[in-house]
């Protein structure tokens, strides 16, 4: 099959084939027999190989009549060398550590556990997979599309003769999610079949590809500004950047883009940008809707912890529902790798005197406390260096509480904060910057923080009030014991709680007069949402110097989520969601924490940090929070939308696009395009929408693509959510994410955005 582009450096497949000389990748391409591990009794050798599309792993199956089994590299979330999965730890010996590795998948909970024949082979496989995945991840959108189309071509070339018949072309079009009449397909085929051989090969396939992927909307924009011999000069590009993209840039900035993205060497020498170079620019970070200046850490991280929204998880140990789903260290790893900075541990007495974690009074499986602490140690700072809060829901006996304290201090070591950072009694939280690489424990404490500075002071109490979130969910199989109003608390565990002491919430007045800054309350969603609606300004004041944690109601046995937006509007920092559940609410959470280096911390707007603020999101008055904006959006087109039903070859999507605004009640809005029949490949809408935004610093924008259905609810195709303040003006591409928040390779929207003061 020929390469799509003639330019070597721009060819996605060329990028991959250059890896063939790499020993690690060569091992994958040659393939090998690896021992697949499922249990103590199920361990079988299977043949695995990276196919020539560099996107697919073939795995041998011994099922009678079974289909050829493959999986895409795009499905892989991470590759782990060693016995670093629950299955390998449970079912393999320690002496096999160097030969083991695991493939962790994005969109389902299964993990592929494998044992190589040697340490060298395991290293080849893990390193090779990581290299290929890294190159694919760094592809431009153009390269991703080319590689995807190349892969589709490979799939339909059944006899591997590097030629495409009309029948294969029709199958290819279906693969690419485009409905085309037989007559039009034949017309395109004949136009490209210049050799009259009734097959397409070599340059004929390239011509077919070019006809198929021609983008009229890009042609029109380019021709408007390409005023120098049919190409864009630096001055032409500068006009485009200033007039359309509304960027404050110079001629040098325009020339830098030409140098970076132009593919044609002659044009580059002439300081010109061709249409291919222009498209390449539009599909890179500079041409995306999300402002690349916000991708890295750009906010002040030296303010008190209470001044930040903190990405937070509820029931972090669960992989599925709250009644009988599995508990797993894997759930903690997944959340932490998504920059979650507050994880929850429901701790209960376990067998053999060892504390365990599970959802109390339910049939969820159990995971040892010490294994969870090890996973937290190993994965907390892979994505973000900023502090992690370990929220303890403690139901253990005194003896096992002491063991909990021992495990945390011995496993987390010096990273665990066990005393105030200050030399004298603090009056406010330390900052995320001061706490980098550290762990904070949230839980009950027997006395006040000033006991650290008065070592001779006696404990005030030996028991504390018990508030049991887990008791909200009960099953007939296991009835909870009568709830005691007091519980014994081990001194060793109490002493680990420094800046996050759990206390009961009585009222905002009581908190203001009686509670220290480090004493924080947890609110069930219904109570928190009611306070955010009826006493928003008081809630905001409370959250200027104290932390609030919100958690889903126990009645959400399916691990569904509530909307975090009203709680963020009220300044709540730790708005805990079920990370394991794909939902609109998790899309909003991902959008909220998309900027600022994916650190899990986002600085709240000044009017949510000011102790004298008069801001009320439900009753807007004049103030610095009002920054009226007019948000113009034109939904132009989409590219390479995924099939909703992969099993049905003839299933083609009928896409429509929703634009949703989430923020203060005055800003909440939604509008959508008409649907387009049978075209997921290159649908065009050219529909304009207009929104009025009052409080842009709290607004999130969600672009949602659906498959229209007349008889039932529309199906999810893809979405992308980002803060309003991180949007770039002009002609922009928008990547699309699947239900679990992972980018869909090659799929995007193309829009024009204009934000004006009003």
Evaluate the CA torsion angle 692, 284, 292, 106 in order and state its sign: positive
User: Do the domains at 157-213 and 216-287 have one common CATH topology?
Assistant: yes
Q: State the SS3 of 636-695.
A: EEEECCCCCCCCCCCCCCCEEEEEEEECCCCCCEEEECCCCCCECCCCEEEEEEEEEECC
Write out the H or E segment, with its range, that includes residue 608. helix 606-609
- Collapsed DSSP state (helix, strand, coil) of residue 204: helix
b/e map 669-699, b = 16+ CB within 10 Å: bebbbebbeebbbbbebebebebebbbbbbb
The answer to whether the CB of 743 falls within 8 A of the CB of 717 is: no
**Residue from 633, 753, 630, 756 nearest 687 by CA:** 633
284-338 pLDDT, tens digit each: 999 999 999 999 999 999 999 999 999 999 999 988 877 777 888 999 999 999 9
The answer to whether the CB of 430 falls within 8 A of the CB of 499 is: yes
Q: What is the C-alpha to C-alpha distance for residues 285 and 282, in angstroms, rounded to an integer? A: 8
Q: Which CATH number fits domain 216-287: 1.10.1200.10, 2.40.30.10, 3.40.50.10320, 1.10.238.10?
A: 1.10.238.10
The answer to whether the CB of 342 falls within 8 A of the CB of 589 is: no
237-278 pLDDT, tens digit each: 999 999 999 999 999 999 999 999 998 899 999 999 999 899
27-45 pLDDT, tens digit each: 999 999 999 999 999 999 9
The answer to whether the CB of 728 falls within 8 A of the CB of 719 is: no
Q: Residue 165: what pLDDT? A: 85
Q: What is the C-alpha to C-alpha distance for residues 294 and 291, in angstroms, rounded to an integer? A: 6
- Catalytic residue positions, numbered: 314, 359
Beta strands 743-757 and 629-639, pairing class: antiparallel
What letter does residue 291 receive in the DSSP assignment? -
Listed in sequence order, the residues at least 6 apart from 454 whose beta carbon sits closer than 8 Å to its beta carbon are none
- 563 phi and psi, to 5 degrees? -75, 125
Cβ neighbour number for residue 118 with a 10 Å cutoff: 10
The answer to whether the CB of 700 falls within 8 A of the CB of 670 is: no
Listed in sequence order, the residues at least 6 apart from 503 whose beta carbon sits closer than 8 Å to its beta carbon are 515, 519, 520, 521
Which numeric CATH code is attached to 305-453+463-609?
3.20.20.190
The answer to whether the CB of 109 falls within 8 A of the CB of 330 is: yes
Residues of the chain falling short of pLDDT 70: 1-18, 20, 63-68, 107-109, 139-160, 175-181, 184, 456-485, 646-650
**Residue from 734, 739, 737 nearest 141 by CA:** 734
For domain 629-757, say whether CATH 2.60.40.150 is its number: yes
8-137: CATH architecture:
Roll (2.30)
What are the residues facing 69 on neighbouring strands? 59
- Collapsed DSSP state (helix, strand, coil) of residue 344: strand
646, burial (CB in 10 Å: exposed 0-12, middle 13-18, buried 19+): exposed
- Collapsed DSSP state (helix, strand, coil) of residue 234: helix
The answer to whether the CB of 434 falls within 8 A of the CB of 456 is: no
State in Å, rounded, how far the first CA of the chain is from the last one. Answer: 55
Nearest-5° Cα angle at 443, 437 to 447:
110
**Residue from 449, 755, 732 nearest 627 by CA:** 755
Helices 329-337, 369-379: axis angle to 10 degrees equals 20
**Residue from 390, 313, 317 nearest 86 by CA:** 317
Q: Residue 461: what pLDDT? A: 60
Maximum alpha-carbon separation in the chain: 96
What letter does residue 231 receive in the DSSP assignment? B
What letter does residue 729 receive in the DSSP assignment? P
Q: What is the C-alpha to C-alpha distance for residues 502 and 500, in angstroms, rounded to an integer? A: 6
Evaluate the CA torsion angle 34, 35, 37, 43 in order and state its sign: positive
Q: Residue 147: what pLDDT? A: 63
The answer to whether the CB of 465 falls within 8 A of the CB of 483 is: no
Nearest-5° Cα angle at 291, 543 to 666:
50
- Collapsed DSSP state (helix, strand, coil) of residue 332: helix
Q: Residue 169: what pLDDT? A: 80
Q: What is the C-alpha to C-alpha distance for residues 552 and 571, in angstroms, rounded to an integer? A: 17
b/e map 328-346, b = 16+ CB within 10 Å: bbbbbbbbbbbbbbbbbbb
Q: What is the C-alpha to C-alpha distance for residues 654 and 708, in angstroms, rounded to an integer? A: 5
506, burial (CB in 10 Å: exposed 0-12, middle 13-18, buried 19+): exposed
Listed in sequence order, the residues at least 6 apart from 198 whose beta carbon sits closer than 8 Å to its beta carbon are 165, 166
Evaluate the CA torsion angle 604, 610, 612, 613 in order and state its sign: negative
Radius of gyration over every alpha carbon of the chain, rounded to an integer in angstroms: 28
Residues in the chain: 758
Instruction: Delimit the domains of the chain by residue range.
Output: 8-137, 157-213, 216-287, 305-453+463-609, 629-757
94, burial (CB in 10 Å: exposed 0-12, middle 13-18, buried 19+): exposed
Q: What is the C-alpha to C-alpha distance for residues 676 and 680, in angstroms, rounded to an integer? A: 9
Q: What is the C-alpha to C-alpha distance for residues 514 and 520, in angstroms, rounded to an integer? A: 12
**Residue from 743, 695, 729, 378 nearest 590 by CA:** 743
Superfamily in which the 157-213 domain is placed by CATH: EF-hand (1.10.238.10)
Q: What is the C-alpha to C-alpha distance for residues 67 and 593, in angstroms, rounded to an integer? A: 41
Distances (CA, A) of 574 to 143, 189, 303, 567, 569: 39, 58, 16, 9, 12
**Residue from 7, 16, 3 nearest 153 by CA:** 3
CA of residue 471 relative to chain centroid, distance: 31
Distances (CA, A) of 507 to 328, 515, 524: 37, 11, 15
Number of H helices, E strands in the chain: 23, 30
- Count Cα atoms within 13 angstroms, Cβ side, for 612: 2
Evaluate the CA torsion angle 529, 530, 531, 536 in order and state its sign: positive
Q: What is the C-alpha to C-alpha distance for residues 578 and 633, in angstroms, rounded to an integer? A: 32
């Amino acid at each position: 099959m020929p390469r799509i582009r003639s330019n070597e450096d721009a060819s996605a497949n060329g990028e991959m084939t250059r890896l063939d000389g790499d020993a690690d990748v060569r091992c994958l391409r040659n393939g090998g027999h690896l021992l697949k591990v499922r249990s103590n009794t199920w361990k079988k050798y299977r043949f695995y190989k990276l196919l020539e599309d560099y996107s697919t792993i073939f795995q041998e199956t011994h099922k009678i009549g079974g289909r050829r089994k493959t999986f895409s590299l795009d499905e892989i979330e991470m590759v782990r060398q060693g016995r670093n999965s629950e299955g390998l730890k449970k079912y393999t010996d320690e002496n096999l550590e160097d030969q083991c590795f695991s493939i962790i998948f994005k969109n389902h909970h299964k993990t592929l556990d494998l044992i190589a024949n040697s340490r060298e082979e395991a290293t080849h496989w893990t390193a090779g997979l990581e290299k290929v995945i890294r190159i694919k991840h760094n592809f431009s959108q153009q390269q991703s599309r080319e590689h995807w189309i190349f892969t589709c071509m490979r799939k339909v070339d059944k006899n591997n003769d590097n030629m495409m018949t009309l029948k294969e072309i029709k199958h290819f079009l279906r693969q690419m999610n485009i409905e085309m009449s037989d007559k039009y397909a034949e017309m395109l085929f004949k136009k490209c079949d210049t050799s009259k051989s009734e097959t397409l090969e070599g340059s004929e396939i390239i011509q077919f590809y070019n006809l198929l992927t021609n983008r009229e909307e890009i042609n029109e924009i380019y021709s408007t500004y390409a005023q120098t011999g049919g190409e864009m000069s630096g001055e032409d590009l500068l006009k485009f950047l200033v007039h359309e993209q509304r960027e404050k840039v110079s001629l040098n900035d325009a020339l830098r883009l030409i140098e970076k993205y132009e593919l044609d060497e002659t044009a580059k020498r002439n300081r010109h940008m061709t249409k291919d170079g222009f498209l390449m620019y539009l599909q890179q970070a500079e041409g995306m809707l999300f402002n690349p200046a916000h991708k890295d850490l750009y906010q002040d991280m030296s303010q008190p912890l209470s001044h930040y929204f903190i990405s937070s998880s509820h029931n972090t140990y669960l992989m599925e529902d709250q009644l009988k789903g599995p508990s797993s260290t894997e759930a903690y790893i997944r959340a932490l790798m998504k920059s979650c900075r507050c994880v929850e541990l429901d701790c209960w007495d376990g067998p053999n005197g060892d504390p365990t974690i599970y959802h109390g009074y339910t049939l969820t499986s159990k995971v040892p406390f010490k294994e969870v602490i090890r996973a937290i140690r190993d994965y907390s700072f892979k994505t973000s260096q900023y502090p992690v809060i370990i929220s303890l829901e403690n139901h253990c006996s005194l003896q096992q509480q002491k063991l909990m304290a021992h495990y945390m201090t011995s496993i987390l070591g010096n990273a665990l904060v066990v005393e105030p950072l200050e030399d004298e009694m603090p009056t406010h939280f330390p900052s995320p910057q001061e706490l980098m690489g550290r762990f904070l424990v949230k839980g009950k404490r027997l006395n006040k923080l000033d006991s650290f500075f008065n070592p001779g002071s006696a404990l005030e109490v030996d028991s504390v009030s018990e508030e049991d979130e887990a008791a909200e969910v009960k099953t007939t199989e296991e009835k909870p014991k009568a709830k005691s109003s007091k519980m014994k608390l081990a001194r060793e565990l109490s002493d680990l709680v420094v800046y996050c002491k759990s206390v009961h919430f009585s009222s905002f007045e009581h908190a203001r007069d009686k509670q220290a800054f480090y004493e924080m309350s947890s609110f069930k969603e219904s109570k928190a949402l009611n306070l955010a609606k009826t006493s928003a300004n008081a809630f905001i004041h409370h959250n200027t110097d104290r932390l609030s944690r919100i958690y889903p109601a126990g009645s959400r046995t399916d691990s569904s989520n509530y909307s975090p937006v009203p709680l963020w509007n009220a300044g709540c920092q730790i708005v805990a969601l079920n990370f394991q559940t794909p939902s609109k609410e998790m899309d909003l959470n991902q959008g909220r924490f998309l900027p600022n280096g994916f650190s899990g911390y986002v600085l709240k707007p000044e009017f949510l940090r000011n102790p004298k603020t008069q801001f009320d999101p439900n009753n807007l008055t004049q103030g610095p929070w009002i920054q009226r904006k007019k948000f113009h959006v034109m939904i132009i087109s989409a590219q390479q939308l995924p099939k909703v039903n992969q099993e049905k070859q003839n299933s083609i999507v009928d896409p429509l696009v929703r634009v949703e605004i989430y923020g203060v009640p005055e800003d909440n809005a939604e509008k959508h395009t008409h649907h387009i029949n049978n075209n997921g490949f290159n649908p065009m809408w050219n529909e304009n929408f207009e929104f009025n935004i009052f409080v842009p610093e709290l607004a999130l924008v969600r672009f949602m693509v659906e498959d229209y259905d007349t008889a039932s609810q529309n199906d999810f195709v893809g979405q992308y959510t980002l803060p309003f303040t991180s949007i770039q003006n002009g002609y922009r591409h928008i990547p699309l994410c699947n239900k679990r928040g992972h980018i869909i390779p090659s799929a995007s929207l193309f829009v024009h955005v204009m934000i004006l003061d009003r």
